[in-house]
Amino acid sequence: MSVAKATTQRPPLPSFTRETAIEKVRLAEDAWNSRDPERVALAYTVDSRWRNRSEFVNGRQEIVAFLRRKWAKELDYRLIKELWAFEGNRIAVRFAYEWHDASENWFRSYGNENWEFDENGLMRLRLASINDLTIKETERKYHWALGRRPDDHPGLSDLGF
């Protein structure tokens, strides 16, 4: 699938309800847990703008390159996202993900994202603030097989995050 391919619509579409905002968050979580940069990039407008920590990313091509670098470093990546707030075409989420580096050092990264969507449900703006916490492997909470988080796995609030 080409990164430059324009997706006509990416439901659910704004204006979001509580239910459609929760659905949009879970779809994003599922895509990121695939660790497939091309798949993830298709949820964003061709000219999407990001701030991720201190890095600024513009457009799908840069999103794919960013995600390739990210998942080459953040091994065994598992993510949980949770809706924080929503209004109109904007959604705020909080998230935590666990990963390890090439030296088997484990981390839990906590953060918040603000999202803004176009009328077709593609994200045109993503602002992410993220902090990393070193953890012991025995402190991990995310033990599902790589890929989509099982529906019966606890969410962030259930885990006390």
pLDDT for 69-127, tens place per residue? 999 999 999 999 999 999 999 999 999 999 999 999 999 999 999 999 999 999 999 99
Q: With a cut of 60, say whether residue 2 has pLDDT above it.
A: no
**Is 0.85 topped by the overall pTM?**
yes
18-159: CATH topology: Nuclear Transport Factor 2; Chain: A, (3.10.450)
Do you find a cis peptide bond into 48, omega within 30 degrees of 0? no
Domain residue limits, the chain: 18-159
Q: What is the pLDDT of residue 8?
A: 83
Decide: residue 76, CB within 10 A, 0-12 exposed, 13-18 middle, 19+ buried: middle
